[in-house]
Structure 1
Amino acid sequence: MGFLQIEGKTFVVFGLANKKSVAAAIAKVLVEEGGRVIHVVRSEQRAEAARKLFPDSPVFLCDVEDEANIIRVRKEIGVAVNEGEGGRIDGLVHSIAYANYSEGLTPFHGTLKKDFLQAFDVSCFSFISICNHFRELFTKEASVVTISISTTSMAAENYGYMAPIKAALNSSVCFLAKSFSSFSDVRFNAVAPSLLKTSASAGIPGYVDSYLYAEKAILRKKALKTREAADLAAFLLSPRSSGITAQTVVVDAGMSVNYFDSEIVQGAVG
């Protein structure tokens, strides 16, 4: 048995869009370590991508913006794992986020209510709802991981209202851990990476410049790889992290301690 001890365990991964997705990277690690992965994606197009990347993994459709879809897919997955015969899932990944940046960069105070509430529904409430509806499908010591960001208090103008929503997601991790503790040992944690090169991030206005800045701020002068965030997620999903719950774990290669790097300072004032 490997170090992570996840051989033969079953994991549900929400959020794969394509091969560059964080969800895809996490699933790849889990499969490499002998885990069984069940994918849940938003559209048939994404389902096709998931089937090509993971031909041995079942794929289900669910647009989490409609809670009825979450209820339906939970029932479908219950059948797939033979719930009636005691089948359960050992872990779940929530790698879902959405923000409407179609109008480009706007000041935070100009955030539209409809955009904020939609982003909150998809990016944060879906996590709470999925955990609620899947609660009886979890093993007693299952692990749940969501994907956040390395800091929600750094006021990046281009990221805008998504930072407060990620802050709510981080808080939800703590409240879910407390709530579930009354009847189980299910653990809840968030992986909080610095800037990653994903197709989803490409839709954020000015993201490329922010990504290049992050490379300069990171101690090793190389951006974080999606695989590095995925490795942390796999660890948190495994029994090896049994003592970790209700945490937002930052993986940023030291970026948060290096904002006053001499090269950055000279570039700003020189």
Structure 2
Amino acid sequence: MSFLGLAGKTILVMGVANKRSVAWAIARTLEEEGAKVTFSVRSEKRLESLRGLLGDRTAYLCDVERTHEIDTLAAAVGRDHGTIHGIVHSIAFANYAKGLRPFHETDRADFLQATSISCFSLVEIARAFKPVLARDASVVTIGISSLLVTPENYGYMGPIKAALDSANRFLAKSFSADTAVRFNIVGAGPLKTSASAGIPGFMKSYLFAEKMTLRKRALETQEVANTAVFLLSPRSSGFNGSTLVVDAGLGLNYFDQDLIRLAMRPEEAAPGPGANT
């Protein structure tokens, strides 16, 4: 028997984009643990692009910007699979088409669309699936490792991820009235995924984050997936309304000596007051 106790459990994974997705790494690991995984993707076009990856696995269509599609998905999954033991919410979107802009220049339409897809969709999914979730089901979403940092290139997604963190806690409280369903977040450090590639200037941030980790090696997608799978399992029964940070120590290594040395080089090279020039 698997230590995680996931054998025979049915898990819905939402948000696979390609083979580098966190959602795909989670799905593969769940299958390795004996779970039955079913999928939901945003569009027919996305589904077609995933045919080779998903093979004969069941996949449904659901654009979370449309509430009725979420309701339809919940009904279809319940009809086809009965009780669901877990949901992976790996869904986020931000419109960076206009490039890097100051936060105060954020467009209302962009902010509200990103909030609807990246945050409020979790609330609507939880509500729609409540009748088909096992009493002790686990819902896991993907967040970020710190809600206090203010990376300029991440822009308005920072506040939206903070809203997701809060919504997760409120869902945990709300569902506790009559179920034992748990809601948790994996707070992931920067990852090299296709979704991240759409963030302006991401690679520079990613390489900087790699130097900030204690091990001087970037966080791996599989490490995030492993944490998500743990949270989906009965072994994580003590976690509810929580965010488990997975960042290889990045968040506590601000004063790394190597980074300080690199940052201070221009200052050290500059002539001091009164120096001959």
Band the TM-score falls in, shorter-chain normalisation: over 0.9
* Matches of 2:200 and 2:80, distance apart in 1: 40
* Matches of 1:153 and 1:88, distance apart in 2: 38
Distance verdict in 2 for CA 1:50–1:90, change over 3 Å:
farther
Alignment correspondent of 1:132: 127
Alignment correspondent of 1:265: 260
Q: Show the 5 A alignment for 1:77-226.
A: 77-81=77-81, 87-226=82-221
Asked if 1:73 corresponds to 2:68, the answer is no
* Matches of 2:45 and 2:8, distance apart in 1: 28
SS in 1 for 2:4: coil
Contact 1:51–1:59, Cα closer than 8 Å, also in 2: no
* Matches of 1:152 and 1:92, distance apart in 2: 23
* Matches of 2:143 and 2:210, distance apart in 1: 19
Alignment correspondent of 1:8: 8
**CA drift at 1:260:** 0.9
Alignment correspondent of 1:28: 28
TM-score, normalization by structure 1: 0.96
Asked if 1:39 corresponds to 2:39, the answer is yes
Question: Which letter maps to 2:59?
Answer: V
SS in 1 for 2:115: helix
Question: Which letter maps to 1:212?
Answer: L
* Matches of 1:195 and 1:124, distance apart in 2: 19
Deviations 1:141-171 (CA, angstroms, capped at 9, x unpaired): 0000000000121000000100100001001
**CA drift at 1:46:** 2.3
Question: Which letter maps to 1:10?
Answer: T
TM-score, normalization by structure 2: 0.94
* Structure 2: 5+ residue stretches without partners: 266-277
Q: Identical aligned pairs, as a percentage?
A: 55
Deviations 1:203-222 (CA, angstroms, capped at 9, x unpaired): 00000000000010001111
Equivalent pairs counted in the alignment come to: 265
**CA drift at 1:259:** 1.3
Alignment correspondent of 1:243: 238
